[in-house]
Amino acid sequence: MSNSSSQKGVGAAARVTALASSVMDLHVRIALQEMDREKRRLISGGVFLAMGGVLMLFALLAVEILFVLWAQKTWNWSLDWSLLVLIIIDITLAGISLRVGGELAKGPYLPDTWDGISRTSKAIFGKK
């Protein structure tokens, strides 16, 4: 009797293992499908962010042109003087933005994060 119950136990364990394997396969398949959907979503989001950034750049250029024209009409500035004032404003705002962005980017990063950042930087800049 012990031999028969032993075979039943092995058969039951095999069925449970097969069931667990089937569930894991299903789980992996669903996870891969979700990853594909998320990848598409992230790529689409990146494309739209890039489009928005380019359009904002064009809008900024239009505003700067309008500032130069307005400064010339309002204060009778020459083109050279208007552009010089605009350049000083742009450099000041760029410096402030870079300083704030640099401070925000500092922080304690996990080793995996540092590794990912360094690999990405090396890939972008072509360093080995």
- Which residues, including other chains, have CB under 8 Å from residue 64's CB and lie 6 or more apart? 86, 90
Residues 10-29 pLDDT 10s: 777 778 787 778 878 878 88
What predicted TM-score, i.e. pTM, was given to this entire model?
0.57
Neighbours of 106 (CB within 10 A): 8
Angle formed at CA 24 by CA 23 and CA 26, multiple of 5 degrees = 65
Q: What is the pLDDT, as a whole number, of residue 128?
A: 63
Residues 80-114 pLDDT 10s: 999 999 999 999 999 999 999 988 888 777 777 77
CA distance 121 to 105: 15
Residues 33-77 pLDDT 10s: 887 778 888 889 889 999 999 999 999 999 999 999 999 999 999
Neighbours of 81 (CB within 10 A): 14
CA distance 40 to 6: 51
CA distance 89 to 32: 49
- Which residues, including other chains, have CB under 8 Å from residue 71's CB and lie 6 or more apart? 77, 81, 82, 85, 86
